[in-house]
Structure 1
């Protein structure tokens, strides 16, 4: 996934909108201090072991503040009534129910999302963030997805992109502060040897900006989490705006990684409680139901774990 992640969070009713009005509304709500949303925990959903493991300060507060880079469909987005929804939002509500607290998603730009935890503004990150060794120096990750990166192009694939090496020498756009740019630079030597030269990467603030650049011809492709790419190809312009490049040698996408809930190392007890909640959600089928709702069954994990990335 976006090693926002990608590796996630990255986020609106569609990846470049079911309609233009929803796109504009979603972007206007996406400022650093914007939307918040959470559901009230249902006592019937409580998992005793997970709730008992939750540190007292979160029990007492009754809420876990979740930093999320909204919009990033299908992970975080707005529905037709401008209510926050998406895979991360729905899973957060499941996990909050297990813990007996509200999981409240709050808008935070992805390039400042880790500092928002370090400053105490938020407690965890849930925004399609991928679990990488570099990030593990700062965060613990409670795994909840496993997927790779895909190449999103205009419908009909006018530039004939069939593999990542077809991007050599071309303008490609990615979301700022994700690892996609680093991954693409990893092909510099091969691209130079082949002749066209390195991939020309352009980083933009949010995924909707990235897709707009492809639509306007400023870039030939968007390299993004496979989940996000699939959603955009299925929904943007009623499924008529984008295609996902199918590389037979990488059917699950490039560089599959784990996506997880990011928690500061000092809050390891919180990470353990969230992991118990995730185990419970897998066991009782509530996790599977959220995966199915967003057509993400292929990216689900069979069992919970912390810091599964390597």
Structure 2
């Protein structure tokens, strides 16, 4: 999955002005960055000694696991009205940390450099709506915690009458850079040709906020994004009437459902196992379901977590 609905073309500047004075340690405009924590602990989840015992010693000693996250990306990572960090991943990190006995500390990281940030040792894991794909599994293990497809987000009223993904053929569609949506749209090239249309003209932009601004301004006909993000944007952007979601009866759950997971480098397999145990524990005690319900994401629940479940996705 991969953003705060832009309320004006200058939303990034507004976020910077609001965030810089806060003691979040978060750079909302730069790529260098820094931890971002909610004002108050988001979890009342009980500890689990068996899970804590599985945490590798170096993380026990440090007392912290650094989490790379492309902030903002609502409803996974976002700011509330007081510019405090909140969202599904924020609460999930707090609940997992309670089980592990260490703090999971979110660090702002641009999505296109999020895997290199682990490889350089800057961060330890990824929680940023990252889809679990075979290509990414060559570098990462995934502890999967969501399952959702992709939706088409258009301007209110759907002025270009887009009803299915093939209606995007020949149109300019914006997606966030380094996400899988671009590859998914390219996979429809032959079907576009078969219907006598040009392929989708894909514009890749740095952040999901930029993508939504492109659609809002008419520079792009649509945004192809994870269904949960599209639903949140359609519900909350502006006065709630800025975007519509294309409802395709043949794909009610979105196109090509995929798993979303916590990414961990292959070499840190013990950490992957500890996170898997923690995820199983919060599912068992009901914390997981409560967090998803809080953010209206229960439709994207995984009935059972696991490692690298995204074997059949591309």
Output the TM-score relative to the length of structure 2.
0.91
User: Are the equivalent residues in 2 in contact too, given 1:40–1:102 (CA < 8 A)?
Assistant: no
Where does the alignment leave 5 or more consecutive residues of structure 2 unmatched?
18-27
Q: CA deviation at 1:90?
A: 1.0
Q: Secondary structure at the match of 1:116?
A: helix
Q: CA deviation at 1:214?
A: 0.3
Q: Secondary structure at the match of 1:228?
A: helix
- Matches of 2:156 and 2:291, distance apart in 1: 28
Q: CA deviation at 1:238?
A: 2.5
* Aligned residue in 1 for 2:22: none
* Aligned residue in 1 for 2:23: none
- Matches of 2:46 and 2:55, distance apart in 1: 15
How many residue pairs match? The answer is 299
Which shows bigger deviation, 33-42 or 48-57? 33-42
* Aligned residue in 2 for 1:87: 88
* Aligned residue in 2 for 1:32: 31
User: Are the equivalent residues in 1 in contact too, given 2:52–2:99 (CA < 8 A)?
Assistant: yes
Q: CA deviation at 1:81?
A: 1.4
- Matches of 2:177 and 2:251, distance apart in 1: 24
Q: CA deviation at 1:239?
A: 1.2
User: Per-residue CA shift, 1:46-83, capped at 9, x if unaligned?
Assistant: 11111010001011100000000011111111111111
Q: CA deviation at 1:37?
A: 2.6
Q: CA deviation at 1:22?
A: 6.4
Q: CA deviation at 1:308?
A: 0.5
Are 1:275 and 2:302 an aligned pair? no
Which shows bigger deviation, 175-184 or 20-29? 20-29
Alignment counterpart, residue 16 of structure 1, candidates 6, 15, 28: 6
* Aligned residue in 2 for 1:120: 121
User: Per-residue CA shift, 1:93-138, capped at 9, x if unaligned?
Assistant: 1101111111100000000100000000000000000000000000
User: Are the equivalent residues in 1 in contact too, given 2:42–2:90 (CA < 8 A)?
Assistant: no
Q: CA deviation at 1:192?
A: 1.4
Which shows bigger deviation, 149-158 or 29-38? 29-38
* Aligned residue in 2 for 1:304: 305
Going from structure 1 to structure 2, the CA distance change for 1:261 and 1:152 (only over 3 Å counts) comes to same
Going from structure 1 to structure 2, the CA distance change for 1:75 and 1:44 (only over 3 Å counts) comes to closer
- Matches of 1:309 and 1:65, distance apart in 2: 24
Q: Secondary structure at the match of 1:134?
A: helix
Q: Secondary structure at the match of 1:238?
A: coil
Are 1:244 and 2:233 an aligned pair? no
Q: CA deviation at 1:26?
A: 3.2
Q: CA deviation at 1:31?
A: 2.3
Where does the alignment leave 5 or more consecutive residues of structure 1 unmatched?
1-7
* Aligned residue in 2 for 1:170: 171
Are 1:230 and 2:219 an aligned pair? no
Within-5 A mapping of 1:46-195? 46-195=47-196
- Matches of 1:242 and 1:194, distance apart in 2: 27
Which has the bigger relative contact order, CA under 8 A and spacing at least 6? 1
- Matches of 2:281 and 2:169, distance apart in 1: 45
User: Are the equivalent residues in 1 in contact too, given 2:45–2:287 (CA < 8 A)?
Assistant: no
- Matches of 2:34 and 2:247, distance apart in 1: 35
Q: Secondary structure at the match of 1:127?
A: coil
Q: Secondary structure at the match of 1:202?
A: strand
- Matches of 1:123 and 1:212, distance apart in 2: 32
CA RMSD, Structure 1 to Structure 2 (Å): 1.8
